[in-house]
Amino acid sequence: MSEPCTNSSQEAIARLREFGYAFNEAGELRKIDVASGKPGDLPYEFKISDNPATNQEHYEQLANQIPDIVYELLEKNGLKRTYIPIGEPIERSTFVFTQPQPLAQSKKLLVLIHGSGYVLAGQWARRLIINNSLEHGTQLPYIQRAQKLGYDILVTNTNDTTRIINGKRTPIKGLDNSMSHAAYVWEHIIMPSQPESVAIVAHSFGGSVCKALAEKFTKFFKEKVFAIALTDGTVGHAPASCQKYFLDVTCNWVSSTEPLDTDLTHGDKEKNLTCVSAGHPEHEWTSSAAIESVFKFLELKHQKYLKTKQS
């Protein structure tokens, strides 16, 4: 089930303007210039009061406008919503984004899994969206690069787990946490679409989600998932049920002051997850900083996968 973009994004943009901010053409959040009514040169200012609670509340209210703006950008880039659980009323559902919609026998499918907290579909880091740019904090650069390389795409939404029903915040049926959301998407959308091959990029807690998926759907992973790229992923040890496979297809780009791709693996690579520097010391920046290296890794793994299938 899908529907066109609603006017929620326009409402969010209007709300941002009420806060005195707007995104400029470069995707940077800037204070609105009073004279021109357009985004000026001044960036977002967190401190508006001597009261820390007031500053944080202002930040949260402004940040709450980001999801709908990002959703519209996903739709402008060709992705569409699929509501889940399948068959439930929209007001009691969450959604993921895919291209095409529905997915069907993808030659290469890229699955994007964000981290925990407040980020929703299409976001890597809310702080970067607000303080730097949409380019740095959203998944759009990954989506656009994947499109150029011929991937179909699925964008998860694992933190969107509740709805307001009759004035009460209520868990979405069967999708009340990140793990159940991801498992449902895998079982009811990805696997039935019968993709030929699958790659995953997961940030932060998305690494734990990915590990849980590999444990739950081990046979599918071994047959179809040719690469798992983590950006500062919290994964710990490889799943016992598929340790050798998981270590072979996975690399974790971790926050570090070392140059991009510097090997930071602890111990024997046959027993430990391959870790390399993301080229940036801050956790939130790892996805943006490592994008070139991540896609090089995905393409090399796909070539290896095809050779193995042909032999």
Q: What is the set of active-site residues? A: 204
Amino acid at 70: V
Q: Are 265 and 251 in contact (CB under 8 A)?
A: no
Q: How far apart are CA 226 and CA 237, in angstroms?
A: 19
Q: Which two tokens stand for residue 86?
A: 């399948």
Q: Are 205 and 283 in contact (CB under 8 A)?
A: no
Q: Which two tokens stand for residue 301?
A: 């793994």
Q: Are 280 and 255 in contact (CB under 8 A)?
A: yes
* Interhelix angle 140-148/291-310, nearest 10 degrees: 40
Q: How far apart are CA 286 and CA 255, in angstroms?
A: 6
Q: Are 227 and 199 in contact (CB under 8 A)?
A: yes
Beta-carbon contacts of 165 under 8 Å, excluding residues fewer than 6 positions away, are 91, 92
Cis peptide before 281 (omega within 30 of 0): no
SS3 (DSSP) at 143: helix
Q: Are 80 and 97 in contact (CB under 8 A)?
A: yes
Q: How far apart are CA 125 and CA 40, in angstroms?
A: 23
Compute, in degrees rounded to 10, the torsion defined by CA atoms 229, 23, 163, 167: 160
